[in-house]
Every structure is written in structure tokens, then in C-alpha cells.
């Protein structure tokens, strides 16, 4: 009986050895890791899309889900019915919560923390425009008055856009101060 077990173990070992392929060359690994990075982001978008589609079904809301990859992150947009505004909330508070829940759903499926960005009813796109203008006008105000300008508390997403806008104005710079959720951008004149 022990010879039968050993023979079966030997057969399994031989088949495992036969199915093992040689390691890919370093250049093949670089190509596959670039592709796998993009493929992983597409996979994240697919998981998020499925999760959000189920959410819309439960809420009985209409919406078209668009998946994309931009700047090394999965981007999911929902557009459609008027009721989607409810999923944005005051100053995007509900949108932020849904984005975090969607990221957690992706992480649960993949085991990897997601940097996915969610936009609903074009709210983030419109907010980007507002924040760029806010950053530029604060920088221009600082240049004309010489006094620093403190903006209201913002999310990390919002602060990043304002910092980029201020950086585009020669002679002004910005820093963040405070602790979440009261963290804000302060704009200064360069000396």
C-alpha cells in the first residue's frame, strides 16, 4: 500500500515539473507588468461598475456607467437621471462616501487598495472648473494685496486641484494647513 502512495506522489511531482515553464526574460516581465498594471485598473473599473450597477438597481435609479483609466487610476462615471443628484449630496459628501465604499468593494475583491475615482452626474468635473478658478483668483488676490489668503476646508481631491491652479500663477504658492476634516489651502506671495 505504501508503494502505491509513493507512486502516486511521484506521478504528481513529475506532472508538476513538466508543466513548469521557464522564467520570462526581464524585458518580457517589464512588458507584462505594464500591461498587467493597465489590466488591473480595467479590472478595478469592472468590479466598481458591477458594484455600482447593483447599487443603482437597489435604489431603482437610472444611470449609465462609464469606465476609463486616467493618470494611473480607474475612473468610473455615472450619468443619467435627475435622481443621481441625490447621490452627490451637499458639497459631494455622499459622492465621497460612495467612492470610499466602491474602493472597499474593489479591495475586497482584489486584495489591493484602490485609488479609483468616482464621478456622479458630472459633479467632480464641474467642481474641478470651480476649484481651478478659485485657486487662480486667490493667487491673483495675494499678488495684488500682498496678504495671504486662507480658503475654506476642502477634501484632498479639492486641495490638489487648488494647489495645481495656484502653482500656475507666477509669484504665488500654496500650502495646506490643519487636520482633516478642517484641512485647508493657504495661498502666499513669493518673497
Report residue 188 as a C-alpha cell: 502666499
DSSP H or E run through 51: helix 26-59
Phi-psi region of 89 (alpha: psi -120 to 50; beta: other; left: phi over 0): left
Work out whether strand 73-80 and strand 117-120 pair parallel, antiparallel, or are unpaired: parallel
Write down the pTM of the prediction: 0.72
Predicted pLDDT of residue 106: 97
pLDDT at 26 over 60: no
**Assigned CATH topology for domain 27-121:** GMP Synthetase; Chain A, domain 3 (3.30.300)
Contact assessment for residue 103 and residue 116, using Cβ atoms and an 8 Å cutoff: yes
- As a whole number of angstroms, the distance between CA 138 and CA 140 comes to 5
**Per residue in 121-131, pLDDT tens?**
999 999 999 99
Q: Which residues make beta-bridge pairs with 79?
A: 64
pLDDT at 17 over 90: no
The whole-number average pLDDT for the span 80-93 is 91
Tell which CATH architecture fits domain 126-189.
2-Layer Sandwich (3.30)
Q: Domain extents for the chain?
A: 27-121, 126-189
Amino acid at each position: 500500500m505504501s508503494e502505491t502512495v509513493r507512486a502516486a506522489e511521484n506521478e504528481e511531482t513529475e506532472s508538476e515539473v513538466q508543466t513548469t515553464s521557464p522564467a520570462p526574460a526581464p524585458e518580457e516581465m517589464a512588458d507584462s507588468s505594464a500591461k498587467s498594471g493597465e489590466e488591473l485598473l480595467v479590472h478595478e473599473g469592472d468590479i466598481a461598475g458591477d458594484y455600482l450597477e447593483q447599487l443603482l438597481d437597489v435604489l431603482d435609479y437610472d444611470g449609465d456607467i462609464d469606465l476609463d483609466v486616467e493618470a494611473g487610476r480607474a475612473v468610473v462615471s455615472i450619468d443619467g437621471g435627475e435622481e443621481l443628484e441625490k447621490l452627490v449630496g451637499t458639497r459631494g459628501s455622499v459622492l465621497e462616501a460612495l467612492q470610499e465604499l466602491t474602493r472597499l468593494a474593489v479591495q475586497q475583491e482584489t486584495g489591493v487598495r484602490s485609488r479609483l475615482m468616482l464621478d456622479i452626474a458630472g459633479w467632480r468635473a464641474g467642481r474641478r472648473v470651480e476649484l481651478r478658478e478659485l485657486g487662480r483668483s486667490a493667487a491673483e488676490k495675494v499678488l495684488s494685496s500682498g496678504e495671504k489668503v486662507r480658503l475654506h476646508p476642502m477634501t484632498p481631491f479639492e486641495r490638489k486641484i487648488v494647489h495645481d491652479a495656484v502653482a500656475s500663477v507666477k509669484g504665488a504658492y500654496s500650502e495646506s494647513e490643519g487636520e482633516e476634516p478642517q484641512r485647508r489651502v493657504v495661498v502666499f506671495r513669493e518673497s
